[in-house]
Structure 1
Amino acid sequence: LHSSFLCLGSDGGASFNSSVADQQAEIETVAKVTHEKGKRNDTQENNGTRPFQLQDVFSLENEDSDDMTLIDKKNNVFVMSNKKSKYPILQVDLRLISDLVVIIVFAAIGGIVFSCLGQPVIVGYLLAGSIIGPGGLKFISEMVQVETVAQFGVVFLLFALGLEFSMTKLKVVGPVAVLGGLFQIVLLMFLCGVTALLCGARLSEGIFVGAFLSMSSTAVVVKFLVERNSTSSLHGQVTIGILIFQDCVVGLLFALLPVLGGNSGLLQGIISMGKLLLILSIYLTAASLLTWSFVPRFLKLMIQLSSQTNELYQLAAVAFCLLSAWCSDKLGLSLELGSFVAGVMLSTTEFAQHTLEQVEPIRNLFAALFLSSIGMLINVHFLWNHVDILLASVILVIVVKTAIAAIVVKAFRYNIKISFHVGVLLAQIGEFAFVLLSRASNLHVIEGKMYLLLLGTTALSL
């Protein structure tokens, strides 16, 4: 290790000096680690005294690579992003490639194992991530880079969800789906908010936990109903209607998270929410106009140009999704909301199903990456040391959600049997809760043990 400074641009000293002069950067001593073959523990390796470590199989530190890592005084680790060179050269981060290979392979293994056991593959992805992450075998070197790539999973998950959006399905059991679904979410948010205040926690944290717990897994429930030929039953129709409404509300919950994450008072929070709703209204109005005037013509053109291959159509659909997500993020909303709106815009056209078929492989790949990256945040030791608390939390969630959903459905004059069936089907916590949880953690709505508790509870409830 030796002291070094990080070049901030291709013009070397000029960029370094100007950045410091403009007070955009400050001088700090860092340690530079160069990963070259034979530089680490040469003596031990030569005489055979260094023990074999499993991490070495997944590490590129013994390869012929000149990748560098910088470590500051607070032990923050930085990866060199643009090495200064006289001529433009192709630069490859082999450690990132290695990390992606590891996470994809382990996610595939986890998914296969849990699928063979008749369990949701989502849990397999989470478990795979927990095994290879910092709380497990520590196979992943570049956590930030992997998690950044995995965020595309959130975008494509919500894009596909928007593509499956259907007002026709929602109208079948409209009153209980919309009003009942809304009452369930509001009631859980209210109960958790009051509980948080009584326990001395922040109101915003309680409200988020209520919104978090109100989500149920559309994929798991629908798969269960299909396997039992219950999709056309009355309790199946009511359950699917509520699930569709919950899926619609997910986008609005993402818009609410920045307000919950603010440190301002109630008045400032109301003002911020008002601004947010105004921006959201403008954004949705613009999206509606484009849906009517631009989207159908655009998709027809892409279909004509893609008569021989779907490559261009697939690329155009992905670009449309990412552009909408980027615009939403720049307006202060969220990437997630923008991608969901993009899907809804396309769902109104005759090409919705074709678009979904084109983006499904991309969605599945990045969704597995995202869920595995979430799993990397699960501390196995924490789960083992708090297994009693987690099991108690899962039982409490199932009982409370079943009771609330059953009471709400019964209020719409359905009999007790149907109400109870719907309550049981909605008792788990859905996969999109992981997306909400990740976003809430980034905005500091929740932190620490509560994050790990919700993460473990969700995984076990599925």
Structure 2
Amino acid sequence: MELWELLANIVFLLTACLVGGGLASRLGQSPLVGYLLAGMLVGGAGSLGIVAYQHEIESIAELGVALLLFSLGLEFSLERLKSLGSRPLIGGAIQVIATIAAGTASAYLFGLGAKPAIAFGTMIALSSTAVVLRILMERGEIEMPHGRNSLGVLLTQDIAVVPLAVLMTVLGSGGTVTEVSIDVGKLILMAAGLAAVLYVLTRLAVLTLGTLTLQRNRELTVVFASAIGLGSAWAAHWAGISPALGAFIAGMLLGSSAFATQVRADVSTLRILLLTLFFGSAGMVADPLWIISHAHWVAGAAIALTVGKFLIIAAIFLAFRQSLRVAAATGLALAQVGEFAFVLGAIGRSSGVVSDDTYALVVSVTIVSFIISAFAVPMAPRFGDIVARWFGKSTTGENDLEGSSHRADVVIIGFGPTGELASVPLMGSDLRTTVIDLNHESVRKAQQYGFAGHIGDASSPDVLEHASIGEVHLAIITLPHFRSALSVVELIRSMNPTATILVRSRYHIHRIALTAAGGTVDGDEECVGGAIAERVVSWLADHAATLE
């Protein structure tokens, strides 16, 4: 009966998160805010008490953290880092260190011990990838100077999650400097050994899957992603290191494979479900009555964190000789506490370095920070202009124009004979072309032509997002199956209303539906009829010559 009671509580929490996330989205907030507030209201101290089994739900929700780090490892790419330039990446590293130092000093002055103060500084160091990138992409500002800066800093922060998670674990281990050094050395050795074992296993799995056609064995990638992501987390826990670190290592090892895009898409549904539970259970830690009675502390801490992170980030990019306008806009966009505060806080609580009160304070401040960001990030460019005018600086300049030009991209979905012929005019052009196909041989051929290639199902939003579908100018769909092609056309049109979509239709009867969905249609029957007509003309000419 206890199992069914636990399941009932999970259903109640997910339902509350659904309602809260929906209301938050309608109010222009991130759904994460709704999940946290829902958890606060239905479970934990000072709540309505609808949801119990908090600790059991937290244990299940930690799997979502493992899958989040697994997906993060899949995104890790040296090419992606290089494309952003060195300034945002170096600036991100400096920002993390400076914020940890400032947060540690502040917490220590307010009475926390040395290790808990460092843990507090670590939890508030990172900004919100989920909130900031969502707003920047919706507003089309990801290619603006402050958008590129934000992307570089956020990517650096995401990479920093793993060493910061290790730091949290080490802080909780206690001991002298020598003992801590020994613990760090053990963690490094265990991580290296785990990486070696996972490398062998993932290579064997990739080689096995590489002989198959994913289009006919889609269930294998789902099983593969779940086994690798969750299995690596369990292996890391068994080895005595952070499960999040093990999941990240496995994701990073798979990130260079051709299956990375589809694996990321297949694991996304399970990851979203478990992460929703995680944020809901994180909200259950916060006590609404405590927040109300300590509203001045929560508001003061949120304002101090926002102003402090803004000043640190703006100062860093000013030191990199970027204009005051861009530096101020970047600082405002990133001046919040991110969702990884919960991840690091959970690790710190389990290792004993973060108390329940500290964790509850950070959760409360993060919720307020998310709400502030919903208004601050959209106004970042205008705020940069205002600050520049205050100090008598020009609102335009050489640094403002750097990286602001949009590079046209093309996505080809389906690289059979039709897709290959359609790509001929793009060969050797300056346009960045990406090919998506479920057949690894087709993707390999596209890569030989100089195109970027991803093995994946284009009907998945995650696969299209990875191909930057929201920024492309042209999408070419050559899928022979009508329903698949129609689904992809509708999805692309919803994600990119301005792109030109060229789509293949095998039969004339399907042209109306594909055109209504937003595609410009070329039909197989017309092409075949035209080709046969040309041959008829040639035959007639030859026949007439024979008769003469």
The bucket for the TM-score relative to the shorter chain is 0.7 to 0.9
Question: What are the Cα deviations for residues 237-277 of structure 1, in whole angstroms up to 9, with x where unaligned?
Answer: 12101111111111121122111112312332222223222
CA distance in 2: counterparts of 1:276 and 1:187, whole angstroms:
25
CA distance in 1: counterparts of 2:85 and 2:120, whole angstroms:
26
CA distance in 1: counterparts of 2:171 and 2:281, whole angstroms:
24
Q: Which residue identity is paired with 2:255?
A: S
Structure 1 counterpart of 2:103: 192
Structure 1 counterpart of 2:394: none
Instruction: Tell me if 1:280 matches 2:191.
Output: yes
Larger Rg belongs to: 2
CA distance in 2: counterparts of 1:193 and 1:116, whole angstroms:
37
Instruction: Tell me if 1:460 matches 2:368.
Output: yes
Does structure 2 retain, via aligned residues, the 8 Å contact 1:295–1:345?
Answer: no
Structure 2 counterparts to residues 430-449 of structure 1, below 5 A: 430-449=338-357
Equivalent residue for 2:306, pick from 379, 389, 398 = 398
Shift of 1:284: 3.6
Structure 2 CA distance for partners of 1:279 and 1:199, relative to 1, 3 Å:
same
Instruction: Tell me if 1:271 matches 2:179.
Output: no
Equivalent residue for 2:83, pick from 172, 180, 193 = 172
Structure 2 CA distance for partners of 1:359 and 1:413, relative to 1, 3 Å:
same
Equivalent residue for 1:249, pick from 130, 139, 160 = 160
Q: Which residue identity is paired with 2:260?
A: A
Equivalent residue for 2:329, pick from 387, 409, 421 = 421
Q: Which residue identity is paired with 2:124?
A: L
Structure 2 counterpart of 1:154: 65
CA distance in 2: counterparts of 1:194 and 1:112, whole angstroms:
38
Shift of 1:300: 1.9
Question: What are the Cα deviations for residues 21-61 of structure 1, in whole angstroms up to 9, with x where unaligned?
Answer: xxxxxxxxxxxxxxxxxxxxxxxxxxxxxxxxxxxxxxxxx
CA distance in 2: counterparts of 1:196 and 1:393, whole angstroms:
11
CA distance in 1: counterparts of 2:329 and 2:17, whole angstroms:
33
Structure 2 CA distance for partners of 1:94 and 1:448, relative to 1, 3 Å:
closer
Does structure 2 retain, via aligned residues, the 8 Å contact 1:257–1:443?
Answer: yes
Does structure 2 retain, via aligned residues, the 8 Å contact 1:130–1:379?
Answer: yes
CA distance in 2: counterparts of 1:310 and 1:153, whole angstroms:
22
Shift of 1:197: 4.1
Does structure 1 retain, via aligned residues, the 8 Å contact 2:310–2:334?
Answer: yes
Instruction: Tell me if 1:127 matches 2:37.
Output: yes
Q: Which residue identity is paired with 1:385?
A: S
Equivalent residue for 1:143, pick from 20, 45, 54 = 54
Question: What are the Cα deviations for residues 87-109 of structure 1, in whole angstroms up to 9, with x where unaligned?
Answer: xxxxxx22112111111111111
Residue segments in structure 1 that go unaligned for 5+ positions in a row? 1-66, 68-78, 80-92
Question: What are the Cα deviations for residues 165-205 of structure 1, in whole angstroms up to 9, with x where unaligned?
Answer: 23222112342233221111111222233344444422211
Equivalent residue for 2:93, pick from 159, 182, 194 = 182
Does structure 2 retain, via aligned residues, the 8 Å contact 1:258–1:443?
Answer: yes
Equivalent residue for 1:319, pick from 206, 224, 227 = 227
Number of equivalent positions: 369
CA distance in 2: counterparts of 1:196 and 1:98, whole angstroms:
39
Structure 2 CA distance for partners of 1:268 and 1:247, relative to 1, 3 Å:
same
Question: What are the Cα deviations for residues 428-462 of structure 1, in whole angstroms up to 9, with x where unaligned?
Answer: 11112111112211212121422211110011101
TM-score by structure 1 length?
Answer: 0.76
Structure 2 CA distance for partners of 1:267 and 1:241, relative to 1, 3 Å:
same
Equivalent residue for 2:206, pick from 296, 303, 310 = 296
CA distance in 2: counterparts of 1:200 and 1:234, whole angstroms:
40
Structure 2 counterpart of 1:115: 25
Q: Which residue identity is paired with 2:161?
A: V
Instruction: Tell me if 1:328 matches 2:239.
Output: no
CA distance in 1: counterparts of 2:301 and 2:106, whole angstroms:
15
Does structure 2 retain, via aligned residues, the 8 Å contact 1:428–1:458?
Answer: yes
Shift of 1:376: 1.2
Q: Which residue identity is paired with 1:118?
A: G
Instruction: Tell me if 1:99 matches 2:13.
Output: no
Q: Which residue identity is paired with 2:359?
A: Y
C-alpha RMSD over aligned residues: 1.9
Residue segments in structure 2 that go unaligned for 5+ positions in a row? 371-548
Shift of 1:309: 4.7
CA distance in 2: counterparts of 1:282 and 1:192, whole angstroms:
34
TM-score by structure 2 length?
Answer: 0.64
CA distance in 1: counterparts of 2:205 and 2:215, whole angstroms:
18
Structure 1 counterpart of 2:489: none
